[in-house]
Amino acid sequence: MPPRLSRPETPEARFLRGPQSRLTELSRAMGIFAEFMRGFRKLHFVGPSVTVFGSARFDEDHRYYKLARETGRRLAEAGFTVMTGGGPGIMEAANRGAKDVGGRSIGVNIDLPFEQGLNPYVDLSMRFEHFYVRKVMLLKYSYAFIAMPGGFGTFDEIFETATLVQTEKIRSFPIVLIGKEFWGPLIDVLREKLLPLGTIDAADLDLLTLTDSPEEAVAGIHDICMERFGLTEGRKVEPQRILGESEPESDS
């Protein structure tokens, strides 16, 4: 793999480098707070959502892209808003599947030096500077989480979600891993290494559902969400409306 090109240090990297002046820390904290508030305001009425995680690096001819597109379609048909990180690859595929059947499609994007342009299949979008703000948005408005094959980011997102359920910081929302060939070895490590060492409990393994079937995944999510949480279909976002940070917000 070729070495990454050297890029200028980002404001976030400078902020996380270590202690700085109190004025600098306060200014940055206020900016983070403002980013949270923009997200809360724009995503308040998206309706019951399911977040789909996955790699940005699969093109539309890849089988995982096609699997994610079918998953997005089935989620929309079941009445859920499909929420992703808004980028290409798996994220694009899930948003695209929702749009294929006229469903609601949300993209919660992140400023990165590579890979993260906004895909064209979202009705409502936001772009964030901070990963932790973005991850709160992906979690706060969803009642289930689907992980397709991915890299470091996908693993981070799915394990953080599982940790939040395990520690009861969020409710026991369904977490589904789609792709047995990809995720199966990971489940084996959890079962054969972590469980015998006592670093997880047997009940923790039950937090993760493994399947190859988008139909099975969505049916299970629908049944659990409707029965356990009493959800009904939420409001539909205005079609083809793309909201960027530059767009003025009303006070209503």
Residue 242: predicted pLDDT: 36
CATH number of the domain located at residue range(s) 21-228 in this protein = 3.40.50.450
Tokens of 2: 């070729």
DSSP state of 178: E
Interatomic CA distance for residues 43 and 63, integer angstroms: 31
Residue 111: predicted pLDDT: 77
Give the residue carrying structure tokens 């749009």. Answer: 99
What's this model's pTM, rounded to 2 decimal places?
0.85
Interatomic CA distance for residues 11 and 242, integer angstroms: 26
Tokens of 43: 């995503």
Identity of residue 55: S
Q: Evaluate whether 207 touches 169 at the Cβ level (below 8 Å).
A: no
Query: What's the whole-number mean pLDDT along residues 215-234?
Result: 80
The residue among 59, 43, 47, 96 whose CA lies nearest residue 74 is 96
- Strand ranges for 168-238 from DSSP E: 175-178, 208-211
Q: What is the tens place of the pLDDT at every residue in 77-123?
A: 999 999 999 999 999 999 999 999 999 999 999 877 665 678 999 99
Residue 116: predicted pLDDT: 64
More confident residue, 48 or 186: 186
More confident residue, 229 or 101: 101
Q: What is the tens place of the pLDDT at every residue in 38-83?
A: 999 999 988 889 999 999 999 999 999 999 999 999 999 999 999 9
How do the domains of the chain map onto residue ranges? 21-228
Radius of gyration of the chain (CA): 19
Under the banding of pLDDT at 50, 70 and 90, the label for residue 14 is: confident
